[in-house]
Amino acid sequence: MNRFEAVRKFARRIADRFDLTPPIDVSNIFSEMDIQIVEEENQYGIEAYSQLNDNKVIINTEITYIPRRRFTLAHELGHICIPWHNGDVKCIAGEHYIQVSGKRLLDTQELEANIFASELLMPTSWVKEKIEEYLEQGFQILVRNITESAQTSTMACFFALENAMPSGNIFFVKKETDEYWRTFSSVNTCTISWNYLAEKNMEFLDVICEKKEECKISQYGVIYYQVLPCPTTKVITYT
C-alpha cells in the first residue's frame, strides 16, 4: 500500500468510526474528537493553521463559502489524523505546490491532506455509485449531483472523480482567468502529451474518442472525453 492509499484508508476509518455518509458534518467530527476550532482573521492569505501537537485548528474568518470551509476543515483534520504529519502547518487547502527558488514544487504533506479531505467528504465507493448512476446522463449532470449531494466545491469533485472513474475517462478544466487547461485523467488511462499542451491532447482525443461533452460547470469550462479503456495488466501479461 502506498502513502496515498494509506491516507485514503485513514479517512475511511474516520467515516466508519462515526458511521458517516455524505454530506459529512466535519464540524461535528472535530467536536467528537475534541479538536478545537478557532476562527481568526489572517492577512497573509493562509486559509487555516493546524497546531498538530495541541489538536487545534485556526481557520480564516474570510472563508465564508460553506463548501470551501468544509473542505478546509477536512484538510486540516487530515494533517491531524495522518500519523507522519507533525508540528505546525500553515495551509491553503486545495493547493499542494510551493515556490522554491522560483520553481513550483510538490508539497507532499499538502497533497496528502487534500487526498484525505476528498476521501472523507466524497468516499471513493460512494462516488463510484454516482458514476454508475449518472455518467450516462452526462458529465455535467454527474458533477452537479455529487457537489449537491456531498455539499462540496466543484474542484474538489473533479479530484474525487479523477480517482474514482474507470479507465478511459479524461477531462480538461479551465476558468476564464486561467492561462492553461488543467488535465484530469482517470486511473490506468493512457494519455499522450506534447510538451504538456492540453490543446494538442484534445486534437488527438477528438479523433479517437467514443464520446465528447463540452459544458460549463460553475466557473469552469469543461471538455470531457470518453475513450476506450486501457487493457488490464492481466490482459497485457497474457497477450
- For the chain, what percent of residues have pLDDT higher than 70? 84
Please state the pTM of the whole predicted model.
0.83
Does residue 95 share a domain with residue 14?
yes
Does residue 110 share a domain with residue 7?
yes
Predicted pLDDT at 97: 44
Does residue 153 share a domain with residue 181?
yes
E strands present in 6-92: 36-40, 48-51, 56-60, 88-91
Looking at every residue in the chain, the average pLDDT score rounds to: 86
Cell digits of residue 220: 469552469
Does residue 59 share a domain with residue 144?
no
pLDDT(61) > 70: yes
Confidence category of residue 103, pLDDT binned at 50, 70, 90: very low
**Bridge partners (DSSP) listed for residue 182:** 173
CATH number at 97 reads: 1.10.10.2910
Q: Kindly give the pairing relationship between strand 182-185 and strand 97-100.
A: unpaired
Between the ranges 110-119, 137-146, 187-196, where is the mean pLDDT highest? 137-146
Does residue 136 share a domain with residue 63?
no
